[in-house]
Amino acid sequence: MVKNFILDTNVLIHDPEAIYSFEDNNIFIPLPVIEELDKLKREQGRVGKNARLAIRVLDEVRKTGDIHQGVKLRSGGTLTIPVLNESDFDKHQVKFLFEKYVDNWIIAYSMYLKSHRPEPTIIVSKDISLRIKAAALGIPAEDYLTDKNDLSLLPPGYITVKNLKGVDTSKIFPNEYIECENGYYRFDGENFVEVNPKIKVFNVSPRNKEQLFSLDALLNDDIKVVSLIGIAGTGKTFLALAAALQKTLQEGVYDNIVVARPLVPMGGKDIGYLPGALEEKISPWMGGIMDNLEYLCRLNNLSFKEIMKKEIIELEALTYIRGRSIPRQYIIIDEAQNLTPLEVKTILTRAGEGTKVVLTGDPYQIDTPYLDESSNGLVHAASKFRGQKISCHIILSKGERSELATIAAEIL
């Protein structure tokens, strides 16, 4: 059955091409949403960029027909940008809605469609408050589900069996790890490759099997994408940095190390508004990275300052990675749970020949509005790359930073 979907602004910011995700249904974008996009397009960073992209997508559709009456989309549905005013509504029923808030206008549009169209009408928004208000008025509302991936269904990246003879290779994925009585193995898609349990990387030894599997994947040049998911203190970033230093400084496989984090803007402004050079702007976000690098240098009797002077390590804001083509780099994207699926796609498509990308993060610690444990870029990438021979995914569950850190992560 064909349905009417009314899109909130945040859906188009989250996915500028969201209009193509509703198959043969009717898509409605209220005019106040367009006005809000127009205001947001001036912002710096992700929000402004996606607002501009969403407007360009809508403009391309506009050129194909009368968008007020409805334009057929390549996905099979129809897009309409209706223009209504207060006289189109029952004022006694929705009087309180006629305020300056876009959310209230969206609800008003949905009530109008519900009373004038036979198809079921549904609001699509990533704003929980709007969905609650809609439900209170009897209007169905749901989150944007297209890029959601159930975190609970994501496997840990390894299995435990008694022996290899009992493993059905048709039921496991390439680069999935196996723990059995006679050791540890990685399935490369055809054969079982033994994993050395005494591996040492830049003077770092794994403290548990999850770290062992992670280091094996981080050192494998054939595995181009590694996603490490785990709570604080499991060693995700530390292991990735150790492997990057090993492969770059000692083995020379990669020319540079790029470490980037999504910077959640302060006061809603991008770092471009902050005073100082780029290094000064991003330093508050890079404290943990610097601590890990200094510790790794001490483990190897190296001068941290001398390493940084060689300029083989770049600390970047993700804003500045977009638009680059990056060959022969070891790229670590820390706190990747704060990225949208579109942003992860943008980053991975920047990878040049001979580049490896490591995504690390904790899906239960998200600082970005409208993302959750199932809709963030880290879980999205891990789910979509599952089964690819160039990718590996590991969930680290055991904290190794300290007893205090492990207990705090579990109970707080």
Q: What does the mean pLDDT of the chain come to?
A: 86
Q: How far, in Å, CA of 73 to CA of 28, rounded?
A: 12
Residue 87 clears pLDDT 80, i.e. is over it = no
Angle 11-16-19 from CA coordinates, rounded to 5°? 75
Which residues does residue 264 pair with via DSSP β-bridges, in sequence order? Answer: none
Q: Could you tell me if residue 268 is left (phi over 0), alpha (psi between -120 and 50 degrees) or otherwise beta? A: left
Query: Last residue of some domain: 143, 178, 193?
Result: 143
Q: Flag whether 28 is in a domain.
A: yes
CATH number of residue 96's parent domain: 3.40.50.1010
* Residues whose CB falls within 8 Å of the CB of residue 367, separated by 6 or more in sequence, listed in order: 264, 338
Q: How far, in Å, CA of 326 to CA of 368, rounded?
A: 26
Q: Flag whether 298 is in a domain.
A: yes
Q: What is the pLDDT of residue 288?
A: 82
In 10 A of CB 287, how many CB atoms? 9
Q: Flag whether 176 is in a domain.
A: no
Taking Cα atoms as reference points, which of 213, 208, 258 lies closest to residue 233?
208
pLDDT tens string 308-352: 888 898 887 776 666 667 789 999 999 999 998 888 988 898 888
Query: Last residue of some domain: 105, 126, 143?
Result: 143
Q: What is the pLDDT of residue 275?
A: 47
214 and 286 share one domain: yes
Q: Flag whether 27 is in a domain.
A: yes
Q: How far, in Å, CA of 399 to CA of 402, rounded?
A: 7
pLDDT band with cut points at 50, 70 and 90 for residue 374:
confident
Which residues does residue 315 pair with via DSSP β-bridges, in sequence order? Answer: 259
273 and 366 share one domain: yes
| Long-range contacts (CB closer than 8 Å, 24 or more residues apart) made by 283-287 | 285/261, 285/317, 286/259, 286/261, 286/315
Secondary structure class of 90 (helix, strand, coil):
coil
Domain that holds residue 339: 206-411
pTM: 0.81
Taking Cα atoms as reference points, which of 234, 239, 238, 237 lies closest to residue 217?
239
In 10 A of CB 9, how many CB atoms? 25
Q: What is the pLDDT of residue 101?
A: 73
Q: What is the pLDDT of residue 404?
A: 72
Query: Last residue of some domain: 123, 143, 163?
Result: 143
First to last CA, the chain: 45
Residue 282 clears pLDDT 60, i.e. is over it = no
Residue 49 clears pLDDT 90, i.e. is over it = no
The domain total for the chain is 2
Taking Cα atoms as reference points, which of 15, 42, 43, 53 lies closest to residue 270?
43
